[in-house]
Chain A
Amino acid sequence: MKTAKLFFLALAGSALALAGCTTVNSVENAQKEGQRNMVSDQRVITDPSLNRKVAIVGVNTAMLPTGLLKVQVELENHTRSLQRFLYHFEWFDANGMQVNNIISASVPEQIEGKESKMIFSIAPNPSCKDFRVKFIEAN
């Protein structure tokens, strides 16, 4: 009787634990046509909890024909559950001065368990040469 109770409790517990765990399967072409221009990045991790869950895989950039810098960051969810976070791009000119712009809104984003996801932004004007991306974990 006691064993049966324990079994059902364990079952209910694991069902609760697994609820909300959705991971992503994906497929892509193995021989890539496009070449990513990966840039060496410098990371400052003050929230190891977020970094353990949603890790930065790499950063690549491209100069658009319109003269604007495009930055793409690849993220990967190392957990098996959905993670929510905010990200925010900051831009700097050739003198390292931050370029004030209205479109650098903090963007709420979510990533499914084990999913790999790209986020990107476009420089607000052609004078922007450098960038910084900030990530904040949701409450």
Chain B
Amino acid sequence: MKNKILLPLIAAAAAALFTGCATDAHYVQTGDKEQIVSLNQINIQDYANAANDAVKDLLQSGALDKVANPPALLELSRIVNNTSQQVDTDLLTKKISIALLQSGKAQTKTVDRKAVGYQQENEFMNDQKTTRLPDFTLSGKIIETVDRAGSTRRTTYSFQLSLNDPKAGVQVWEGEKEIGKQGTRNTVGF
């Protein structure tokens, strides 16, 4: 009799416990509280956070406002990948260029071959040079540092960015964001 009461209770408790562990496919938002935190790779939210910090710092510095003809013209230069993984640096630079365009503080030089071709054709037909040299170039480096203590691993990704003035040959702004992750295994949630 006692077992008859206990069994359904245990079953109900187990069901309630495991309901929260369901892993059915569902849409998620980047950076939500269920984000996967990987110890051995840069997660999508890491790029977003690094770009977020860089844009905040860059807009606050006012470096982009010091141009003769605003908005500043920016050319994306090389981002060196010094990590152990293959990285598409557009995940970082595209977010920055979109945010700067949205701010109205900078425009990015096009890399679209067709657009460049039309511009060159236009220059040739009108016999005038309209190509504007960039006011700034954006370059950077992503560095990975790994430390271990027993089974605990700490991985730090440093996103270093520089805004360069090609006319003066100087760096007018520099920013660095470090994203550190520590644990023994990848996890869901932060």
Chain A residues within CB distance 8 Å of chain B: 64-66, 68, 70, 84, 86, 88, 101-108, 120-122, 124-126, 136-139
- Shortest B155–chain A CB gap in Å is 15
Say whether A121 contacts B65, CB under 8 Å.
no
Q: A122-B59, A126-B104 are in contact. Are A105 and B49 (CB under 8 A)?
A: yes
Q: A65-B62, A125-B104, A138-B190 are in contact. Are A102 and B31 (CB under 8 A)?
A: no
Most buried by B among A66, A103, A105: A103
Say whether B190 contacts A84, CB under 8 Å.
yes
Say whether B48 contacts A105, CB under 8 Å.
yes
Say whether A106 contacts B59, CB under 8 Å.
no
> Quick one: which of B38-56 are within 8 Å of A by CB?
45, 48-49, 51-52, 55-56
Cβ of A104: which chain B residues have Cβ within 8 Å of it?
52
Say whether A124 contacts B30, CB under 8 Å.
no
Tell me if B130 is interfacial: C-beta within 8 Å of chain A: no
Say whether A122 contacts B56, CB under 8 Å.
yes
Set A70, A106, A122: member contacting B45, Cβ < 8 A = A106
Tell me if B32 is interfacial: C-beta within 8 Å of chain A: yes
Q: A125-B104, A138-B189 are in contact. Are A102 and B95 (CB under 8 A)?
A: yes
Set B32, B62, B188, B189: member contacting A106, Cβ < 8 A = B32
Say whether B60 contacts A70, CB under 8 Å.
yes
Cβ of B65: which chain A residues have Cβ within 8 Å of it?
65-66
Say whether B56 contacts A106, CB under 8 Å.
no
**Can you list 28 A-B pairs, Cβ within 8 angstroms, ordered by A?**
A64-B59, A64-B60, A64-B62, A65-B62, A66-B59, A66-B60, A66-B65, A86-B31, A86-B33, A102-B98, A102-B99, A103-B95, A105-B30, A105-B31, A105-B48, A105-B51, A106-B30, A106-B31, A107-B52, A122-B55, A122-B60, A124-B103, A136-B33, A137-B33, A138-B33, A138-B189, A139-B188, A139-B189
- Shortest A133–chain B CB gap in Å is 14
